[in-house]
Every structure is written in structure tokens, then in C-alpha cells.
């Protein structure tokens, strides 16, 4: 599903768990170099199961993603802040 939607737009890597496994399916969208220069930061999304969410993510990435395109209103419910582990 998401693999197909972002095929020509972004690299998608699949792993068992990125840390907050209780929010599966978790995605981290990292900015491009240009997006990073414009202040874009990694965006964490959880509970991403629907084709509509995948489509909104793919559209956001086509528009430039973090730092270059506004975060889609339709994805707000999926976004979360990842808490860092204390050492």
C-alpha cells in the first residue's frame, strides 16, 4: 500500500520497531537536505494503517515534505512527539 504510493517520491525502509512499538505502524518522515535547511525536522507518525493516510503522506512528500510543505491537516491525528530515553 504505502510502498506503492511513495515509490517515485521517497525511500521507504521497513523495520520491526522504531522504539514506540505501541503506536504501530510507526513512520518517521525525515526532511530532504533542502527541507532541513529550511528548518524541517523529522516527523513521527503512528497508527498509520489506512490508504487515505498513506495517500496524504505521499502527497505531502511530493509537495516537499518537512520544511518545504505545510503539514497536512488530515495527518494531525497521527503525529506524535517521540520521547527520548533517559540515560
Q: What is the pLDDT along the chain (87 residues), one digit of tens a residue?
A: 777 877 777 777 778 888 888 888 899 999 989 999 999 999 999 999 999 999 999 999 999 999 999 999 999 999 999 877 666
Yes or no: say if 31 and 41 are a contact pair by the CB < 8 Å rule: yes
Domain boundaries, position 36: 2-80
Sign for the pseudo-dihedral over CA of 62, 66, 70, 74: positive
Residue 12 lies in a domain: yes
Residue 85 lies in a domain: no
- Residue 86: what pLDDT? 65
- Residue 65: what pLDDT? 93
The pTM score is 0.85
Residue 18 lies in a domain: yes
- Residue 2: what pLDDT? 76
| Domain count across the chain | 1
Amino acid at each position: 500500500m504505502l510502498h506503492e504510493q511513495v515509490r517515485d517520491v521517497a525511500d521507504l525502509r521497513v523495520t520491526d520497531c522504531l522504539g514506540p512499538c505501541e503506536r504501530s505502524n510507526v513512520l518517521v518522515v525525515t526532511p530532504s537536505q533542502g527541507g532541513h535547511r529550511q528548518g524541517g525536522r523529522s516527523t513521527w507518525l503512528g497508527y498509520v494503517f489506512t490508504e487515505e493516510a498513506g495517500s496524504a503522506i505521499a502527497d505531502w512528500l511530493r509537495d516537499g515534505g518537512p520544511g518545504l510543505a505545510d503539514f497536512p491537516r488530515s495527518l494531525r491525528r497521527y503525529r506524535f512527539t517521540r520521547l527520548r530515553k533517559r540515560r
